[in-house]
Amino acid sequence: MEPARDPAATQSPAGALTVLGFETSCDDTAAAVVRRDADGAVRVLGERVVRQDAAHAPFGGVVPEIAARAHVDRLDAVARRAMADAGVGFGDLDAVAATAGPGLVGGVMVGLMTAKAVALAHRLPLVAVNHLEGHALSPCLSEKVAFPYLLLLVSGGHTQILMVRGVGDYQRLGTTVDDAAGEAFDKIAKLTGLGLSGAAVECAATAGDATRFALPRPFRGAPNPDFSFAGLKTAATRAYQSLDSPSDADKADLAASFQAAVADVLADRVRTALALPAAAEASAVIVAGGVAANAVIRAALTAAAEDAGRPLVAPPLKWCTDNAAMIALVGIERLRRGESDQLDVAARPRWPLDPAAAPALGGGKKGPKA
């Protein structure tokens, strides 16, 4: 049964596009309905997300099989609620979009197969979305940003700097050669017993002394805007292990010191990227991904962007982390270009935004690792 419709809510001017999006690339089950009006205004009509923190907590991290099974159990209900919030039915949709990669492939398959079923049953176009492209365009959910712009994509699985020249037109300028910044945050949170996610490090750092531990700033000053966080993570681990019975104050100081080091590195790498000829026409610096929610990092990036005469633009906090609104938005933009996918499109565990860029961590039959 379709959700009850509010005719006033579902009526839209000619030229508007309304898309239902699914996001299941990790452990958040999300669905959203987004509309782009003829004048270019973007509205999130309804969105829902269900997190799985409690299910994965006993294991100290996300278990792919548990995540995939939870998506199977929850996605239908999450989608119904998002559509009910939006006041739309399937007949009001112009397409359905879903993350098709990169991510935990079991979870990706759940969202993509659900989208295929909706597309087939309701004769709707299907758009298979690159999760990273969702982050790249996520600031457009709340404001208009002129192309081209410099994007810092910083999350649990990815740390990259790209030039975004338009939908589908991305040039990678720098990437991590080992770990992602978000993964390093998560590791320190677990190491210190603060929690399972990097957000716990930010919370603890508010009471800490960022100058207590002398942690390295890998690649700071290097001529190419690449990143490395493995050494910083190791240094923070050794500093913690050197403490006898670490107190809450010790943990707060380490959290603050680690956070400051990451912020310094990210800001330095953005400054380096902005000085490259490829970034000369960047209208703004965009930061997206889960780590973009960190206030200290935002402040450091704001200063780096202002030094180069550019504004820093970041999506609202709820759209920094994984969400379905950004997936629906990419679906809209792809649909506007006349693009859609066949029902046999495959889920992809790896899917670089810039396929021409050499993989920093090597490759394999599933594609580049980074």
Strand 169-175 and strand 126-130: the pairing is unpaired
Q: Give 146-314's CATH code, choosing from 3.30.1330.40, 3.40.50.150, 3.30.420.40, 1.20.1250.20.
A: 3.30.420.40
Q: How far apart are CA 71 and CA 115, in angstroms?
A: 13
- The pair of three-digit structure tokens given for residue 290, joined into one six-digit string: 């889960």
What pLDDT is attached to residue 57?
82
Q: Residue-wise over 98-126: b if at least 16 C-beta within 10 A, else e?
A: bbbbbbbbbbbbbbbbbbbebbeeeebbb
**How many Cβ atoms are within 10 Å of 63's Cβ, its own excluded?**
17
Give the H or E element holding residue 19. strand 17-23
pLDDT of residue 358: 57
User: Which CATH superfamily does the domain covering 7-137+320-336 fall into?
Assistant: ATPase, nucleotide binding domain (3.30.420.40)
Number of neighbours of residue 289 by Cβ within 10 angstroms: 28
Q: The dihedral of CA 136, 140, 141, 143: what is its sign?
A: positive
pLDDT for the residue numbered 361: 56
Q: Assign 3-state DSSP to the chain and report helix, strand, coil percentages, each to 5.
A: 45, 20, 40
Would you state the pLDDT for residue 360? Answer: 58
Residue 268: phi and psi, rounded to 5, are -65, -40
Q: List, for residues 202-254, the tens digit of each pLDDT value.
A: 999 999 999 999 999 999 999 999 999 999 999 999 999 999 999 999 999 99
Dihedrals phi, psi of 235, to nearest 5 degrees: -65, -40
Q: Give the pLDDT of residue 2.
A: 43
CA distance 163 to 170: 6
The residue type at 51: R
Structure token pair of residue 19: 């898309």
Of the chain, the percentage scoring pLDDT greater than 70 comes to 93
Kindly calculate the radius of gyration of the chain based on its CA atoms and give it in whole angstroms.
21
Kindly give the parts of the chain with pLDDT less than 70: 1-13, 358-370
pLDDT tens per residue, range 320-330: 989 999 999 99
Q: Where in the chain is the domain with CATH 3.30.420.40?
A: 7-137+320-336, 146-314
